[in-house]
């Protein structure tokens, strides 16, 4: 087997999927740095075994699993941070790069979605997974994935409508 480090194609793979993976991991973390730690661990673990992204569902399932482990491991710190964040300015690092007010409002609306809808939306829109792949990554049925996606879009539309 060739030297894994010499496989330069991991860089092109990661350049392509990195931002989406990071956005997916950001759902469980407050800081981009923690999300990057999770993504790094998951990607390295995945690439060691596969040397290519042939099963995207498995890659996202790995990210999710590591993120959940991270939360469990870091529960105490998270509680402490939650207390601090509750007292301090509630702004967190942005998950999107918006260009105007409309995009800013859209990003805010996405972050307010229920967690189960948001993760399906993130996988579908910014990671371009099929419902079958989303179902595999999240351990749910395709129908559930599709209905969560529709609920997410409906909720977004509702929240973006002028009052």
Partner 1 sequence: MNDFPELENELRALRPARTSPVIFERIEEALAENCRAPVSGAGSMANWLRRFTETPFRFGIGLVAAAAAVVLLLARINTDQTRNEDKEIAQVAPASETRPVLPAFSGGSGVNGSMSSNKFVPAGATQVVYNTRNEGLQFADGSRQPLRRLRYQTQQTWQWRNPSTGASLRVSYPSEEVVLIPVSGQ
Residue indicated by tokens 């939360």: 71
Within 10 Å of residue 14's Cβ, how many Cβ atoms? Answer: 16
Query: To the nearest whole angstrom, how small is the minimum distance from the Cβ of residue 8 to partner 1?
Result: 10
What is the number of residues in the chain?
163
Does residue 7 sit in helix, strand or coil? Answer: coil
Q: Which residue's CB is nearer to partner 1, number 86 or number 158?
A: 158
Rg, Å, the chain Cα set: 17
For residues 163 and 68, give the distance between their C-alpha atoms in angstroms, rounded to a whole number. 37
Where does this chain touch partner 1 (CB under 8 A) — which range of 55-63, 84-92, 118-126, 132-140?
A: 118-126
Sites for partner 1 among residues 29-88 (CB under 8 A): 32, 36, 39-40, 43-44, 47-48
Closest CA to 2 of 52, 38, 40, 74: 52
| CB-CB contact of 117 with 26 (8 Å) | no
CB of 29 to partner 1, least distance (A): 13
16 binds partner 1 (CB under 8 A): no
- Please identify, among the stretches 75-83, 92-100, 112-120, 137-145, the one whose residues bind partner 1 according to the rule CB under 8 A: 92-100
Write out the residues near partner 1 by the rule CB under 8 A: 1, 3-5, 10-11, 14, 18-20, 22-23, 26, 32, 36, 39-40, 43-44, 47-48, 93-98, 102-103, 106-107, 110, 121, 125-126, 150, 153-154, 156-157, 160
């Amino acid at each position: 087997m060739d030297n894994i480090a010499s496989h330069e194609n991991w860089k092109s793979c990661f350049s392509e999927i990195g931002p989406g993976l990071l956005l997916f991991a950001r759902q469980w973390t407050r800081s981009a740095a923690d999300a990057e730690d999770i993504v790094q661990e998951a990607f390295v673990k995945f690439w060691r075994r596969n040397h290519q992204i042939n099963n995207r569902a498995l890659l996202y399932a790995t990210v999710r699993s590591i993120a959940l482990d991270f939360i469990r491991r870091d529960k105490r710190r998270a509680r402490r941070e939650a207390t601090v964040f509750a007292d301090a300015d509630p702004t967190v690092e942005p998950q999107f790069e918006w260009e105007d007010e409309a995009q800013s409002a859209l990003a805010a609306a996405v972050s307010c979605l229920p967690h189960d809808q948001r993760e399906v939306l993130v996988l579908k829109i910014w990671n371009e997974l099929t419902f079958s792949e989303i179902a595999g990554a999240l351990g749910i049925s395709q129908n559930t994935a599709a209905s969560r996606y529709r609920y997410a879009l409906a909720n977004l539309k509702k929240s973006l409508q002028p009052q």
